[in-house]
Amino acid sequence: MAGTVTVRFYALLRRQLKTAAIEVEADGGSLLELLTRAEELAGQGFLDELLDPGNELLTGTIILVNGENVRLKDYLNTRVRAGDTVDLFSPAGGG
C-alpha cells in the first residue's frame, strides 16, 4: 500500500520555502527521485541549496534519513520508503 515520506526542512531552506515539512508519496525509489518530487510539491526549487550542478552533495549539506546521514549510506541513491523521515539541512555552522 502506498504511503508517504516526511521531508523536513531546516535552516535557510525553511525560511526559503516557508514551510517546516511536507509529505511526499513514496515509491521505494532513490532519495534523489524523492527530492525531485518534493521540489515539485514545494512549488519552488531548493535542490541547488543542497547539491551542486552535478547533483553531488555540497560541502556542508546534511541529509538524514531516519536520523542517519546519507553520506554513511548510499548518498543520493539511498532508498527511501513509506514511513521514512528525511531531514534536509542546507549548509549551516556555529560553535
Binding site for other proteins (CB under 8 A): 10-12, 14-15, 20, 49, 58-62, 64, 66-69, 71-72, 87, 89-95
What is the C-alpha separation between 76 and 82, in angstroms, rounded?
17
Beta carbon of residue 36, minimum distance to other proteins (angstroms, whole number) = 21
How many distinct helices (H) and strands (E) make up the chain? 2, 5
What is the C-alpha separation between 35 and 23, in angstroms, rounded?
11
Beta carbon of residue 2, minimum distance to other proteins (angstroms, whole number) = 26
Nearest residue (CB) to other proteins, 25 versus 56: 56
User: How many other CB atoms are there within 10 angstroms of residue 58's CB atom?
Assistant: 12
Nearest residue (CB) to other proteins, 44 versus 59: 59
Beta carbon of residue 62, minimum distance to other proteins (angstroms, whole number) = 7
Beta carbon of residue 85, minimum distance to other proteins (angstroms, whole number) = 10
Q: Which of 82, 62, 76, 57 is nearest to 12 (CA)?
A: 62
